Structure 1
Amino acid sequence: MSDSDYLTRAEAVLARIEQASDDSDADIEFERNGNVLTLEFENGSKIIVNLQPPMQEIWIAAKMGGFHFKFVDGQWVDTRNAREFFEALSDYATQQAGEPVDFSA
């Protein structure tokens, strides 16, 4: 994938997370600073989603740990276990928010 394709796809992920956070019933504040999106929950815990252009990955830092996602066969998947990005993020956010959070389409 070209660098331009990566950035287009990765930026779409951040935009989708921002929109889903706005639409969610959960109390989620978000702040974007360049390639870094911080989600903050009512209890003060945070999830950081950041783009890694040199590696063409998207990284998540959550209470559950750090996770790296690569674009494979039309979706972003965890480099360790092939778990889909939005499914994983929804689970991590649900655990930290203490209520259901869904980032999937």
Structure 2
Amino acid sequence: MTETEFFTLAQATLDRIEAAMDRLNDEDLVDVECRRSGNVLEIEFLDSGLKMVVNSQAPTQQMWLAAKTGGYHYQRAGEAWIDTRDGSELFAVLARLVGEQAGQPVSL
């Protein structure tokens, strides 16, 4: 994939995550606030103060997620972002982590 294609896809991914967090907040499933600066999206859970950060890494063409449970690196495979270590999918991992904060399962 070209650098331009990666940048477009990465921005769309960050947009999708931010919109999902806004929806969950609007539905009162979780009290969350997002802050975005360029290719970095910070997600803060206001009840616990826990933060997660999702950002794109152009040199490696990856999406990175930093959470209390650790750091995750996702490479594009077909239509999904797949973890380079365990093969999990970005949105599935985010849904699990956010659901843990919400105290109930959520879908992104």
Q: TM-score, normalised by structure 2?
A: 0.89
Give the superposition deviation at 1:101.
3.4
Where do 5+ consecutive residues of structure 2 fail to align?
Answer: none
Residues of 1 paired with 2:49 and 2:104: CA distance? 14
1:49–1:61 Cα contact (<8 Å) kept:
yes
CA distance in 2, matches of 1:46, 1:99: 18
Partner of 1:12: 12
* One-letter code aligned to 1:15: D
Q: Give 4+ residue runs of structure 1 displaced > 6 Å after superposition.
A: none
Q: d(CA) in 2 for partners of 1:83 and 1:64?
A: 14
Q: Could you report, residue by residue, the CA deviation over 1:24-77 in whole angstroms, capped at 9, with x for unpaired residues? A: 031110000111100000210001001101100000000110000010122110
- Aligned pairs for 1:12-51 (under 5 A) are 12-24=12-24, 25-41=29-45, 42-51=47-56
Identity %: 44
Question: 1:61: which partner in 2?
Answer: 66
Which of structures 1 and 2 has the larger relative contact order (alpha carbons within 8 angstroms, sep 6+)?
1
Determine the structure 1 residue equivalent to 2:3: 3
Matched, 1:102 2:78: no
Amino acid at match of 1:34: G
Determine if contact 2:30/2:101 at 8 Å carries over to the other structure: no
CA distance in 2, matches of 1:100, 1:27: 15
5+ long unaligned stretches in structure 1 = none
Count of equivalent residues = 103
Q: 1:39 to 1:101 in 2, by over 3 A?
A: farther
| Equivalent residue in structure 2 for 1:74, among 68, 72, 79 | 79
